[in-house]
């Protein structure tokens, strides 16, 4: 029995190592494929591709800074809008209402939101949300575009709430019951237990859910493309039309007829890949620091 157990453990370890190597090779393959396909653009523009502001396929001038700004603005604004709602849902489903009709209904709705295709969100935003934003812009004395960064951020915030809420709920459920009961026995209220016991214990997992949501927002394409306005200019405000790196690739990839144009679009994809990687590494570092502080 012991020999069989050791043999099974060795096979399991080898399987894990093999899976890790495959994943690493896939990531390296994606990176180098994007890098080699981007070489004409990198040689032609250098760092000006990142810092420049003009994207003009007619004259052959390509620069990704407006799209970089649009991507970061929409993603982080959507994250800021979604955090209060996702955290509230996580606490409600994980602590206040763990079972029953209300919990089952809300859990089903959250899962349904996660499963809706992005193009449906885009249609909803285009026909429902854009007129509302246009009305608000008129009241504020702004140019009534309707489409723009703020509209895209609202759509994204709805799309990413299920990811952070679901993970947050699971983490809240993992808080040891003994800790909560000890806090209640000392006279703590529900709010005090959440503030001083649940949130400190579960914050690394909650942050992981937020990080997952940010990764989802950075790479979202279809819904954002339909409501962001698809402007190549640097946005003047959060209500201005803009473009993200994903949306400009989706819009123009089929129109790229020459090598430099196609290479520039692929270099945007390379930048998006690198930004997502940096965000994930930074998030993992913060999660580890937070976990150490909790211990």
Which domains are seen in the chain, by residue range? Answer: 47-294 (1.10.3720.10)
* pLDDT tens column, 222-270: 889 899 988 888 888 889 999 999 999 988 888 888 889 999 999 999 9
User: What burial letters (b/e) apply to 239-275, b meaning 16+ CB within 10 Å?
Assistant: bbbbbbbbbbbbebeeebeeebbbbbbbbbbbbbbeb
Closest CA to 267 of 30, 38, 31: 38
Mark the ranges of the chain whose per-residue pLDDT is less than 70.
1-9, 11-12, 14, 99, 287, 289-295
Position 130 scores a pLDDT of 92
Q: Would you say 49 and 42 are in contact if contact means Cβ atoms under 8 Å apart?
A: yes
Q: For residues 190 and 184, what is the distance between their CA atoms, to the nearest angstrom?
A: 8
Q: For residues 24 and 276, what is the distance between their CA atoms, to the nearest angstrom?
A: 16
Q: Which residues contact 42 (CB under 8 A, 6 or more apart)?
A: 49, 267
**Main-chain dihedrals φ then ψ at residue 99, nearest 5 degrees:** -145, 175
Q: Distance of alpha carbon 213 from its chain centroid, rounded?
A: 4
Closest CA to 275 of 97, 85, 56, 34: 34
Position 290 scores a pLDDT of 56
Q: For residues 253 and 278, what is the distance between their CA atoms, to the nearest angstrom?
A: 25
**Main-chain dihedrals φ then ψ at residue 56, nearest 5 degrees:** -140, 95
Position 4 scores a pLDDT of 58
Q: Would you say 138 and 210 are in contact if contact means Cβ atoms under 8 Å apart?
A: no
pTM summary value: 0.85
Output the average pLDDT for the chain: 84
């Amino acid at each position: 029995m012991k020999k069989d157990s050791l043999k099974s453990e060795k096979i399991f370890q080898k399987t894990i190592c093999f899976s890790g190597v495959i994943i690493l090779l896939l990531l390296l393959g994606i990176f180098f494929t994007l890098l080699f396909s981007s070489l004409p653009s990198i040689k032609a523009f250098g760092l000006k591709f990142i810092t420049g502001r003009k994207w003009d396929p007619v004259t052959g001038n390509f620069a990704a800074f407006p799209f970089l700004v649009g991507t970061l603005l929409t993603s982080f604004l959507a994250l800021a809008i979604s955090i209060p709602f996702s955290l509230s849902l996580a606490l409600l489903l994980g602590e206040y209402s763990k079972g029953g009709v209300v919990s089952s209904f809300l859990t089903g709705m959250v899962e349904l939101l996660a499963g809706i295709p992005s193009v449906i969100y885009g249609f909803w935003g285009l026909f429902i949300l854009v007129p509302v934003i246009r009305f608000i812009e008129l009241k504020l004395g702004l140019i009534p575009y309707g489409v723009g960064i703020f509209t895209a951020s609202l759509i994204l915030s709805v799309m990413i709430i299920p990811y952070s809420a679901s993970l947050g709920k699971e983490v809240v459920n993992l808080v040891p019951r003994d800790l909560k009961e000890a806090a209640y026995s000392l006279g703590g209220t529900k709010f005090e237990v959440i503030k001083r016991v649940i949130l400190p214990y579960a914050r690394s997992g909650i942050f992981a859910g937020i990080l997952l949501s940010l990764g989802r927002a950075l790479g979202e394409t279809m819904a954002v493309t339909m409501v962001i306005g698809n402007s190549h200019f640097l946005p003047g405000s959060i209500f201005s039309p803009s473009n993200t790196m994903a949306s400009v690739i989706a819009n123009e990839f089929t129109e790229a007829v020459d090598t430099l144009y196609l290479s520039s679009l692929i270099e945007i994809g390379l930048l998006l890949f690198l930004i997502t990687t940096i965000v994930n590494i930074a998030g993992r570092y913060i999660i580890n620091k937070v976990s150490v502080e909790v211990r």
